[in-house]
């Protein structure tokens, strides 16, 4: 009895430590249990497909069979040796340079012009946002009739001005720029929303101080507003680059990569290799290259957002 009485406090302390340990483990495990369904879905529909694409890029199917053969980096070497892929990369770069800066600049100008509340501004915002709500396939079908040479709506109004329209979708020197025009028309209003949100977060004290110091409108825009909007610009840049690499519906509807591969973008090249040439390995390699580039740009933009946030604070 004496021994039990002596060790009772020790046993009680051990039990308390065990209960405390269980409580801590339960508190730490509970968030992971709540996140488990989302993590499983994310793994199943995001990370596993990425692993599968990387695996496919290192293998090739044996013609006439369902067997796959490990080929290492051969798909990548064949990819960069393919003139059609090089042309699609060049086209995508031109497409990005033609759409991203112009869309973002127009979006910022629209946001600056319409940032104040009012009925007219609300109507104008809705009108500018409307193209982004139109599916790209529908927009491409609409512009197919607008760009018809000679009889299209665009050539009709150019004819009234005494200007002869070009073959907007049939001329290799013009077709890609026609697609750029469609993209800018569709995306500028969408990017405007992000700039409108960013302008609402700017401190009015900073703008008033710049005005008191004698800064005119251009100086406030260049030295105050644009630097403070750096995080928003970085975010919009990522969204714009994702659109550049993933929007291909208008190419399929209007040009199918032609004429003379002048509008063949990287995603259309991947589609063509996978579904028309049955070169799944090369299509997977092109997907890995494009996603890697997009990931690098996204990381750079996120760093820019962090620096902008620290500077704003």
pLDDT digits (tens, 9 = 90+) for 151-200: 888 888 888 888 888 889 999 999 999 999 999 999 999 999 999 999 88
Q: What is the CATH number of domain 81-312?
A: 1.10.3720.10
Q: 297 pLDDT exceeds 90?
A: no
Cα separation of 290 and 51, whole Å?
Answer: 15
CA distances from 94 to 147, 228, 266 (A): 21, 29, 12
pLDDT at 224: 84
Mean pLDDT of 126-135: 91
Mean pLDDT of 287-313: 76
Q: What backbone torsions phi and psi does residue 201 show, to the nearest 5 degrees?
A: -90, -10
Please, which residues have CB within 8 angstroms of residue 223's CB and are 6 or more apart in sequence? 210, 215
| Cis preceding linkage at 52, omega within 30 | no
Which is higher by pLDDT, 311 or 107?
107
Cα separation of 192 and 196, whole Å?
Answer: 6
pTM: 0.83
Q: Among 187, 186, 182, which residue's Cα sits nearest to residue 169?
A: 182
Cβ-contact 41, 48 below 8 angstroms:
no
Cα separation of 169 and 180, whole Å?
Answer: 12
């Amino acid at each position: 009895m004496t021994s039990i009485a002596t060790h009772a406090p020790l046993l009680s302390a051990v039990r308390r430590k065990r209960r405390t340990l269980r409580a801590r483990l339960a508190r730490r495990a509970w968030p992971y249990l709540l996140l488990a369904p989302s993590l499983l879905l994310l793994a199943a529909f995001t990370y596993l497909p990425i692993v599968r694409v990387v695996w496919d890029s290192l293998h090739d199917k044996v013609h006439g069979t369902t067997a796959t053969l490990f080929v290492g980096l051969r798909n990548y070497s064949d990819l960069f040796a393919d003139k059609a892929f090089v042309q699609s990369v060049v086209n995508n770069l031109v497409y990005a340079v033609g759409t991203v800066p112009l869309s973002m600049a127009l979006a910022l100008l629209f946001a600056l012009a319409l940032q104040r509340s009012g009925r007219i501004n609300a109507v104008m915002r809705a009108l500018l946002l409307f193209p982004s709500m139109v599916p790209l396939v529908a927009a491409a079908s609409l512009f197919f009739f607008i760009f018809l040479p000679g009889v299209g709506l665009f050539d009709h109004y150019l004819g009234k001005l005494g200007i002869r329209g070009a073959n907007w979708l049939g001329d290799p020197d013009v077709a890609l720029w026609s697609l750029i025009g469609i993209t800018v028309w569709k995306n500028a209003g969408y990017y405007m929303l992000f700039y409108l949100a960013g302008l609402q977060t700017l401190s009015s004290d900073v703008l008033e101080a710049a005005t008191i110091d004698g800064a005119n409108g251009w100086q406030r825009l260049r030295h105050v507003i644009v630097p403070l909007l750096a995080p928003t610009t970085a975010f919009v840049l990522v969204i714009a680059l994702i659109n550049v690499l993933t929007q291909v519906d208008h190419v399929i509807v209007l040009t199918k990569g032609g004429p003379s591969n002048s509008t063949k973008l990287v995603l259309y090249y991947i589609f063509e290799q996978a579904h028309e040439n049955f070169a799944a390995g090369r299509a997977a390699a092109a997907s890995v290259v494009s996603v890697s580039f997009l990931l690098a740009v996204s990381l750079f933009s996120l760093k820019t957002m962090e620096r902008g946030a620290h500077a704003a604070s």
